[in-house]
Chain A
Amino acid sequence: MIKTNYLYDSLVSRRAMLTWAGRSAAFAAFLSAARSLPAVAANAPTLRIWMGEDYVPAWNAYLPVMIKKVAAELGVNAQVELTPDNDTGRARRQTALESDTLPDIIHGTTADMAKYYDLGKLHPIAAEVFERMQTTNGGWLDNIKPFVTASDGKVYGVPFFTRPWLVHYRQDIFDKAGIKTPPATLDDFKAAAKEVNNPGDGLFGVGMPYNQADMDGHMVAFPWLYNSSWQDEHGNLTVDTAANLEALKSYLWFFQQGLTPQDSLNWGGSGNNNAYLTGLAAIVNNTGSLFAALQRDRPDLAEVTALGPWPQALPDGKPAATTIGFCLNVAHNSANAELAGRFIERMLAVENMGPLLEAGSGQAMPVRTELTQIEYFQKDPIVGRIVRDVVPYSRPLTYPGPNNAKFGDLVSNNSPYFKDLLHRVLVDGVTPEESLKQFAAAGAELQKKYNN
């Protein structure tokens, strides 16, 4: 077992909270100033832009303003809409995909965009923008290109930001139990969770999800911890292997030992967040959504929370951190594709993207070298350390293979296949071996369908 020793101090101190409040006030001033932008000519070209709504209100407030600012700079009319990251938003995007009415600029996860690319719905301009930006202001972070590279080796999107998964520890509980954190290995992690587990008093050792949501941050990473993965570097599925079986059994162990609430069988995307925010679970793994919610809603809990990646590094010695990649794209039938490409480029400029990342309060991480240098990441001790120690090493969910629609269907967030893999064992009493075989069969079926 390879050890890592990443752990970040408590999320916020009282001083940090004051800083956070001050930042909110600064944003309010920025927003009011941005409202007085010069008007764009009525006959100027119009870009329809769909951006994802986020968990952080400041992000949602700033994003449309930033887009309008870019539009004013480029003399473009921007029709910007925020679409929620839930079934409603998904249905809307699927409808647009089916009716071929995608907006000029669309924002989504790299997995979603891989599917759009596979369907031929994306404009090749994204690759040009990626290349142009590679040579300006330090370019992209070294680990970013695989996020937006398809099976054919072509770049299909412009990276926007990443959202690493981070393990959240209740430092106060572990200190009280005399357990040294961070756990150095997965075995130590399990032992720590078991030690503090006390359901009778309403505390579970860990809040692992077993349902459709959040599987990407959990079941994708677990095989990595066993030096394995669900696909190889060429994009071939490698599901039914001894190492993956070991990883599956390891994940099931938490539930079989009663270390996680039974409700996790039905948890939605915020299930483990809620478990942590209500003090039900001593450890959970989630993205910046929890990080941001703690700062906003539970500063008391934030003060006793420490963060880190999974407690075991990969063979290259770097942390096993999964990251959801988000990218920007141009629809294949956009009448203003060139303009849309330039628009995306401007959106990513440090003077526009910097304040947006700051508004995100840690739920969104930079993808460009220059953005890692902004004052926010230099000054904020916690977020700054994540940017330095995790972001450059975080891996796409498709690691070590390329992005492709078939793999996205199998393992992405909301994949029903992971849910079935776990529920077959936990609810139906099927053996892990048999469940893994059925999971492999589902993967093979997907592969066949995509090949057809």
Chain B
Amino acid sequence: MSNIAETDGRTASSRTDGRQIGRYRSLERRDIYTGYSFLAPAILVLAFVLLIPLVQAVILSFYNKPIGATATFTWLQNYSDTLIDPSFWRAAYNTLIFVVFSIIIKLILGLAIALALNQSFPGRGFARVAVLIPWALPEITACMGFIWLLDGNVGALNAILRGFGLIEQNVYFLSDPKLAMPTVIAVNIWRGFPFFTLTLMAALQTIDKDLYEAADLDGANSWHKFWFITLPSIMPVLTVTTLLSTIWTTNSFTTIFVLTGGGPSDMTTTLPIYTYDQAFQGYANLGRAAAIAVIILPLIVLMIAMLMRVMRKREEIEA
């Protein structure tokens, strides 16, 4: 009996379990549907503003499409034209130089200033605000200011350098082929280092002070403390900041467009400027510009994937 009862009980219980599992599954399904319904507006918006344009750009890249004219299918012509164009490779090289130098210097400068501003000193509040000004200024306004500052003939910087007797002849910052790229890099650094300072300063403030006290007791010097405590502690933020800034710098358009327009002789033409030129200058071919964007896309996707990976790792560590 008991066996039967037990069996019945097991049967009854497994029936109950089955019903519960079914209910759970149904609830789970309902949760999933609810979740998707909440996500739907965001997915729709993203599809309209990202996915559809992306697909359209890929399709467009197979067409010859001057503005206002009918598109004609040209297979891979835009891709082959781009890849054999020496100007494309020059723009890719310029982009590499622009990004690498900008990022390295922004990182070093931003970190150094963040470390300095993390110390106590009179006027620290003012300094913290002042350092953010380049980042807070509208890019176009800042660049117009730099045009006047750096003008080779009537620019303020030349006047100052002459005034101090540092130069005898004016320096053509924006039109000297050797100086144009360093100059646009310098302006990009000026605009971008406060972002590093801001994020790293926030990261520095989260480091437990006990670690430094313990290190002091162990006789660690400043370099040891920086290398073994500060740097590892801020590394996740530093990585995310660097990746974000790398993506933004790679796509940077305004600074170069306003300061040099890519000149002289394409010395400062980066991939975004090259893409713009193909789309809107001379024989404006939107298809060719789309092909360039598609060629660059894997690079940007790779950087974003790295960024996501770092952020996920950070979340795991924090969890």
Q: Across the interface, do B283 and A449 meet the contact criterion of CB distance under 8 Å? A: yes
- Interface size of B by CB at 8 A reads 29
State how many angstroms separate the Cβ of B309 from the closest Cβ of chain A.
Answer: 37
Q: Are A91 and B174 in contact (CB under 8 A)?
A: no
A231 within 8 A of partner (CB):
no
On whether A426 and B265 interact (CB within 8 A), knowing A415-B282, A449-B64, the answer reads yes
Instruction: Check if B176 is an interface residue, CB within 8 A of chain A.
Output: yes
Instruction: Closest B residue to A427 by CB, please name it.
Output: B265
Contact of B264 among A100, A265, A449 (CB under 8 A): A265
Measured in the bound complex, the distance between the Cα atoms of B261 and A262 in whole Å is 16
| Count of residues in A whose CB is under 8 Å from the partner chain | 40
B67 touches A416 (CB 8 A): no
For A410, the closest partner residue in chain B by CB is B282
Give Cα distance in the complex from A121 to B70, angstroms: 12
B68, B151, B175, B281, most chain A CB atoms within 10 A: B68
Task: Say whether A236 faces chain B, with CB atoms less than 8 Å apart.
Answer: no
Q: Is A417 a contact partner of B153 (Cβ separation < 8 A)?
A: no
Cβ-defined partner of A202 (8 Å) among B69, B153, B175, B280: B153
Complex: A94 Cα to B68 Cα, angstroms: 7
B174 contacts across to A, CB distance below 8 A: 263, 266
Bound: A98/B284 CA distance, A: 12
Q: In whole angstroms, how far apart are the Cα atoms of A367 and B286 in the complex?
A: 36
Q: Are the CB atoms of A94 and B284 closer together than 8 Å? A: yes
Q: A202-B153, A262-B176, A449-B283 are in contact. Are A116 and B68 (CB under 8 A)?
A: yes
User: Contact at B264–A423, with CB atoms within 8 Å?
Assistant: yes
B282 neighbours in A (Cβ, 8 Å): 409-410, 415-417, 446
Judge whether A149 is part of the interface by a CB distance below 8 angstroms: no
Q: Tell me if A247 counts as interface (CB < 8 A to partner B).
A: no
Contact of A263 among B153, B265, B266, B283 (CB under 8 A): B153
Q: Give 1 or 0 for each of A280-313: 1 = CB within 8 Å of chain B CB.
A: 1000000000000000000000000000000000
Chain B residue at smallest Cβ distance from A213: B261
Q: Is the CB of A98 within 8 A of B261?
A: no
Give Cα A428 to B178, complex, Å.
Answer: 11
* Residues in B whose Cβ lies below 8 Å from that of A415: 282
Interface members, chain B 40-72 (any A CB < 8 Å)? 64, 66-69, 72
Q: Mark B221-264, 1 if CB is under 8 A from A, else 0.
A: 00000000000000000000000000000000000000011011
Chain B residue with Cβ nearest A424: B265
Contact A94-B67, Cβ < 8 Å, known A261-B152, A263-B174, A427-B267:
yes
Determine if B134 is an interface residue (Cβ-Cβ < 8 Å). Answer: no
Provide the bound-state CA to CA distance between A296 and B217, in Å: 74
A22 to chain B, nearest CB (A): 34
Closest chain A residue to B281, Cβ basis: A416
In the complex, which of the residues A115, A119, A262, A268 has the most CB atoms of chain B within 10 Å of its own CB atom?
A: A262
- Assess whether A427 is in contact with B284, with CB atoms less than 8 Å apart: no
Residue B139 at the A interface, CB < 8 A?
Answer: no
Q: Quick one: closest B residue to A417, CB to CB?
A: B282
- Least distance between B283 CB and chain A CB atoms (Å): 5
A251, chain B: closest CB distance, angstroms: 16
For A420, the chain B residues whose CB sits under 8 A away are 265
Contact with A along B144-162 (1 / 0, CB 8 A): 0000000111100000000
Task: Name which of A98, A100, A415 has the most chain B CB atoms within 10 A of its CB.
Answer: A98
Alpha-carbon gap, A94 to B69, bound state (A): 11
Task: Tell me, yes or no, whether A452 is within 8 Å of chain B by CB.
Answer: yes
Distance between A255 CB and nearest chain B CB, rounded to angstroms:
11
Does the CB pair A97–B68 fall under 8 Å? yes
Count chain A CB atoms within 10 A of each CB in B172, B265, B266, B284 and give the residue with the most: B265
The reply on B182 being an interface residue by CB < 8 A is: no
Which residues A107-128 have CB closer than 8 A to chain B? 115-116, 119, 121
Given contacts A212-B261, A266-B263, contact A119 B68 (CB under 8 A): yes
- The answer to whether A91 and B280 touch (CB under 8 A), given A263-B153, A275-B153, is yes
| Alpha-carbon distance between A280 and B152 when the two chains are bound, in angstroms | 11
8 A Cβ contacts from A185-236 to B: 202, 211-212
Question: Which residues of chain B have C-beta atoms less than 8 A from A137's C-beta?
Answer: none
Contacts of B154 in A (CB 8 A): 278, 280
Partner of B175, one of A91, A115, A262: A262
Contact A211 B265 (CB under 8 A): no
Cross-chain contact B280 with A265 (CB below 8 angstroms): no
Q: How far is the CB of B273 from chain A (nearest CB, A)?
A: 11
Give A416 to B260 CA distance when docked, in angstroms.
Answer: 14
Query: Shortest distance in angstroms between B134's beta carbon and chain A's nearest beta carbon?
Result: 23
Chain B residues whose C-beta falls within 8 Å of the C-beta of A250 in the assembled complex: none
- Residues of B contacting A280 in the complex (Cβ-Cβ under 8 angstroms): 153-154
Q: Are B260 and A266 in contact (CB under 8 A)?
A: yes
Partner of B283, one of A212, A278, A409, A428: A409
Q: With A94-B67, A94-B68, A427-B267 in contact, is A262–B281 under 8 Å at CB? A: no
Give the interface centre of A115, A116, A445 by most chain B CB atoms within 10 Å. A115
Question: Contact check: which of B67, B172, B265, B266 meets A262 at CB < 8 Å?
Answer: B172
Measured CB to CB, the nearest residue on chain A to B263 is A266
Point out the residues of chain A lying under 8 angstroms from B151, CB to CB.
263
> Chain B residues near A414 (CB, 8 Å)?
281
Best-surrounded residue of A266, A409, A415, A423 (most CB of chain B within 10 A): A266
Is B264 touching A90 in the complex (CB atoms < 8 A)?
no
Known A202-B153, A427-B177; contact A121-B68, beta-carbon cutoff 8 A: yes
Q: Which A residues between 338 and 397 are near B, CB-CB below 8 angstroms?
A: none
Instruction: Sample 21 A-B pairs with CB under 8 A, ordered by A number.
Output: A91-B280, A94-B280, A94-B284, A98-B67, A202-B153, A262-B176, A265-B175, A266-B175, A266-B261, A278-B153, A409-B282, A416-B277, A416-B281, A423-B264, A423-B265, A423-B266, A426-B265, A427-B265, A446-B282, A449-B66, A452-B64
3 closest A-B pairs by beta carbon, nearest first, are A423-B265, A427-B265, A97-B68
